[in-house]
Structure 1
Amino acid sequence: MADPLIIKICGIKTPELLEATIAAGADMVGFVHFVRSPRHVSVEDIATLISQARGRIETCVLLVNPDNSCVAEVAALGPDWIQLHGPETPHRVAAIRAEAGVEIIKALPIGTAEDVAQIAGFLDVADRVLLDAKPPKGADRPGGLGDSFDWALLKALDPSIPFMLSGGLAPETVADAIKTVRPFGVDVSSGVESAPGVKDKRLIEAFIRNARAAV
């Protein structure tokens, strides 16, 4: 039997939506600490949400090119994961993992064959890699834009490399993505929102239901 699919709902901001996400059967929940994102949550609020989630669902705090003080502050909250969603190099990812003592997800933007070729360089320094759509030039943030990438690019990837898939996933596309790309996990943010940063409980439920049915 295949390992169960990991489903991560990212960009949760309120206790109510956290409860809904847990009830819907997600495996991981993500909290965004990045001021330019419509999903930004303060460290104080993330602390409250992690306390609420502890022992019930895995927690992940998303950071973009954080400095050492930010890493230390977030690590002190005791999340299960830190997700790095900026231009961090393999060397920087390794340093953050060593300093934080927290498992690391490294998000990698995919837009070209060169991007796929760079995935291998992160496998030894991150605990998981998450493949996301490369943002368009001039975008004000590195993810959460609701775009997908050309999954055919992943045919060049060594099939033994496990990865999570993100980028443009939604309740109506996630089943096709799982069957086509065969990730071990999927991550959604804007695809379960009614407006930027505003999660919809019914869309979260539909996404999880459709993803589980596709495995």
Structure 2
Amino acid sequence: MKIRIKICGITRDEDLVAAIGAGADAIGFVVGVPTSKRNLSPEKAASLVRQVPVFTSSVLVMVPNTLSDLTETYDRVRPDILQIHGKGVPKVAEIRQAIPGATLIKGIRSEPGRVLKAAEEAWGFDAVLLDTFIPGKHGGTGITNDWWIGKKIRENIGPERLILAGGLTPINIWEAIQTVRPYAVDVSTGVESSPGIKDHEKIASFIGKVKEIEL
């Protein structure tokens, strides 16, 4: 099985070009998260999304406060995929009614005693992204996830729905994939030189190592 690769937290045109050139399957753009060093305005995100070529997916990453906040930003950015984090996420039925045909990813965190239920509650989404649990954070921490939790979630919901994130790097990605066996992997901090600034050599190394793995 081919493992799909998402490079998240892109903020610059040159980093987008590097990720696409290295063979990323999806590119993530963070909007409406002021606490993130990778946060973009809807206008900047839309400009980057327009540069994503056919057969590479653009992903809008949000922590929405309301359904209208979600839909308005989606309409302005026009991504291929919508990735949603936070406890205030609208019900999936409401999102699908407001944005018909949208591909939806629900971000969850490996919170002890809560994560398995959170994965089950995300049944109406197209995929689940598992990230490291850090109180007050919704990704981009650079802290390695508990891969055994990821393995258990994959066994519960199926490999075709699980995206693994959380502290992935070119060094640990082989072990992470062999342990969890996810559908896709998501990296941001692990391919940066500083927050929001990607290291092009790390991007190429990460993607190259993932592409060598066959499950």
CA distance in 2, matches of 1:155, 1:118: 15
Within 5 Å, give how 1:194-209 maps onto structure 2. 194-209=193-208
Per the alignment, in what secondary structure is the counterpart of residue 11 of structure 1? coil
Check conservation: 2:132, 2:144, Cα contact below 8 A: yes
Q: Which deviations, in whole Å up to 9, do the C-alpha atoms of 1:148-192 show, x marking residues without a partner?
A: 222223454362523010001011111110111100100001111
Per the alignment, in what secondary structure is the counterpart of residue 164 of structure 1? strand
CA distance in 2, matches of 1:99, 1:165: 28
What is the aligned partner in structure 2 of residue 121 from structure 1? 121
1:153 correspondence with 2:149:
yes
Question: What is the number of equivalent residue pairs in this alignment?
Answer: 208
CA distance in 2, matches of 1:210, 1:69: 40
CA distance in 1, matches of 2:143, 2:93: 28
Per the alignment, in what secondary structure is the counterpart of residue 47 of structure 1? helix
CA distance in 2, matches of 1:184, 1:103: 15
Check conservation: 1:10, 1:31, Cα contact below 8 A: yes
Structure ranking higher on relative contact order (CA contacts 8 Å, 6+ apart): 2
1:29 partner amino acid: I
Q: Which deviations, in whole Å up to 9, do the C-alpha atoms of 1:109-131 show, x marking residues without a partner?
A: 013243123311212x2111111
Q: Work out the percentage of aligned pairs sharing the same amino acid.
A: 37
Within 5 Å, give how 1:31-180 maps onto structure 2. 31-33=29-31, 34-76=33-75, 77-88=77-88, 92-101=91-100, 102-123=102-123, 125-135=124-134, 137=135, 139=136, 141-157=137-153, 159=155, 161-162=158-159, 163-180=162-179
Kindly state the Cα deviation for residue 212 of structure 1 after the two structures are TM-superposed. Answer: 1.2
Check conservation: 2:150, 2:164, Cα contact below 8 A: no
What TM-score comes out, normalization by structure 2 length? 0.89
Note the aligned Cα RMSD (angstroms).
Answer: 1.8
Check conservation: 1:94, 1:126, Cα contact below 8 A: no
Kindly state the Cα deviation for residue 68 of structure 1 after the two structures are TM-superposed. Answer: 2.9
What TM-score comes out, normalization by structure 1 length? 0.89
Q: Which deviations, in whole Å up to 9, do the C-alpha atoms of 1:58-81 show, x marking residues without a partner?
A: 000100024233322232232111
Consecutive unaligned residues of structure 2, counting only runs of 5 or more, are none
